[in-house]
């Protein structure tokens, strides 16, 4: 089974002070132990690096690159995925639904992934299973 990894989950794994850290750490270890294919998009990486670098600093950004990225399968967003995602975001017309979220949903649908490691409620609203 493949699991899509969201930036909210990655951040919670890396930030010991995050409210979701304990749940995120446990779920992350479980996913690694089950040897699931862990997939994210390059947009998730951009968002994650920006959050981690800004909030936690360069050591945390280095940990993201050295400890997390190597276990991920990266879906590189093409022009068509990007355009479909922008269209979905604009059609939804919701201020809190980001372009990165819409790209994630589009990637998951294109790859046939039904489960996301996330703390973002928008994934469940789109009909995806969420871990934890």
Tell me the per-residue pLDDT of 59-101, one tens digit each, with 9 for 90 and over.
Answer: 999 999 999 999 999 999 999 999 999 999 999 999 999 999 9
pLDDT at 65: 98
CATH number of the CATH domain containing 54: 3.40.50.1010
Tell me the per-residue pLDDT of 38-53, one tens digit each, with 9 for 90 and over.
Answer: 999 999 999 999 999 9
Q: How many domains does the chain have?
A: 1
Handedness of CA 43, 44, 47, 53 (dihedral sign): negative
In terms of Cα–Cα distance, which of 50, 55, 32 is closest to 117? 32
pLDDT at 17: 97
Structural domain containing residue 45: 2-131
Give the predicted TM-score (pTM) of the model. Answer: 0.95
pLDDT at 62: 97
In terms of Cα–Cα distance, which of 51, 99, 49 is closest to 69? 49
Residue 45: how many CB atoms within 10 A of its CB? 19
pLDDT at 114: 98
pLDDT at 58: 98
pLDDT at 104: 98
In terms of Cα–Cα distance, which of 2, 99, 10, 90 is closest to 56? 10
pLDDT at 105: 98
pLDDT at 51: 97
């Amino acid at each position: 089974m493949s699991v899509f990894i969201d930036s909210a989950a990655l951040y919670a794994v890396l930030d010991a002070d995050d409210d979701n850290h304990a749940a995120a750490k446990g779920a992350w270890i479980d996913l690694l132990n089950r040897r699931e294919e862990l997939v994210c998009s390059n947009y998730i990486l951009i968002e994650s690096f920006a959050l981690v670098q800004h909030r936690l600093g360069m050591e945390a950004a280095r940990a993201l690159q050295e400890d997390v990225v190597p276990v991920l399968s990266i879906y590189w967003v093409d022009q068509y995925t990007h355009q479909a995602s922008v269209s979905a975001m604009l059609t939804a017309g919701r201020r809190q639904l980001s372009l990165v979220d819409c790209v994630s949903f589009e990637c998951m649908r294109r790859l046939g992934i039904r489960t996301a490691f996330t703390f973002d409620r928008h994934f469940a609203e789109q009909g995806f299973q969420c871990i934890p």
